[in-house]
Amino acid sequence: MSAATSSAPSTRPPLGIRHWPTWINIGAMALLARLPWSWQRWLGRGIGGLLRRLLAERRAIAARNLELCFPELDAAAREALLREHFAALGIGLFEFARAWWGSIAPLRRGIRVEGLEHIEAARANGRGVIVVSGHFTTLEAAARLMCDYLPLAGMYRPHAEPAMEWAVRRGRARYAQAMFPKQDVRGTVRHLKRGGLLWYAPDQDPSRGDSVYVPFFGQPAHSLTSTHQLARLSGAAVVLFQHERRPDGGYTMKLWPALEAFPSADATADTARVMAGIEAMARAVPSQYLWIHRRFKRRPDGTSPYQ
């Protein structure tokens, strides 16, 4: 599949009775995207609190992750962090809706961007750059906002539901230079070899792909080696991208200096470096990392910490 084919969203929405539940959700998201930003932040915290009560399984996963990753905190502190995490999730739903369907003008107010010079330095001599972040509740808003400054393309996991797949591609086509399905390694590498920028989040437990166990918050985490592989195949630099939603409703986005001597000959060591960077970003804003994901569902001994 060529890069052009991979990045072009379908302009024809899929129709059919079986798609209507998804269309109702998409329509609701588009309507909610138009509420005032101050309302969305207030409603988001309330919706987050409601989700914390309704999504018992996800609440248990998040609580277990916090227990594993922050053993130095007592039970009360972890419970407070859990509450703030679900509040961040609720606000993140509105950010997600705005990024795809609404105006992000209110999100641009008070934005702070640091480290753009690191991208310029990394692109010297025509190199591409893999811009690595993690799965934070601010993921969609941060990507949308950073596209004001950089021509980012992205990789994504295709959806089995055709209506949702159309919505994802259409929504991100508003700001991303291109969108590559994760299977389109050839198109992704070609984009990087041409000096392109690729936003990438490699921090979830993969179902497929070359992977290794590396430390993440002191726990063995099953992790993709894809950052190493993409850098090796394309010659691209790797720059970490940190982002957070501040208490005043503004955003701070920071690009780190490019990782030195990356990639090396050791895929495991390189993957550990990437995960250590994502851990540092998560420690900076722990409530905004996506703790509802089963990050440690696979362990080297075959056990799972989730019951």
236-249: pLDDT as tens digits:
999 999 999 999 88
Other Cβ atoms less than 10 A from the Cβ of 142: the count is 24
Token pair for 266: 């050791």
Compute the radius of gyration of the chain from its Cα atoms.
19
The contacts found for 49-58 with CB under 8 angstroms, 24 or more apart, are 49/83, 49/86, 49/87, 49/90, 50/90, 51/86, 51/89, 51/90, 52/82, 52/83, 52/86, 55/292, 58/292
| Identity of the amino acid at 4 | A
Q: Which residue has the higher pLDDT, 261 or 163?
A: 261
CA pair distance 13, 114, nearest whole angstrom: 38
Rounded to 5 degrees, φ, ψ at 248 are -80, 5
- Whether the Cβ atoms of residue 211 and residue 145 lie closer than 8 Å to each other: no
Q: Indicate left, alpha or beta for 217 from its phi (over 0: left) and psi (-120 to 50: alpha).
A: left
Residue with tokens 């893999």: 130
**Three-state SS for 94?**
helix
Residue with tokens 């009560």: 53
CA pair distance 182, 160, nearest whole angstrom: 14
What pLDDT does residue 4 have? 39
Confidence check: pLDDT of 6 > 90: no
Token pair for 94: 């509105």
CA pair distance 228, 9, nearest whole angstrom: 28
Give the pLDDT confidence of 220-233 residue by residue, as tens digits: 999 999 999 999 99
What pLDDT does residue 137 have? 97
Cα–Cα distances in angstroms (integers) from residue 250 to residues 95, 244, 289, in the given order: 12, 9, 17
List the one residue out of 204, 87, 61, 224 whose CA is nearest residue 135: 204
Confidence check: pLDDT of 2 > 50: no
Non-local CB neighbours of 159 within 8 Å, separated by 6+ positions: 165, 168
List the one residue out of 184, 160, 159, 183 whose CA is nearest residue 172: 159
Mean pLDDT, residues 58-68 taken together: 98
Give whichever of 26-40, 66-80, 159-173 has the largest mean pLDDT: 66-80
Other Cβ atoms less than 10 A from the Cβ of 112: the count is 11
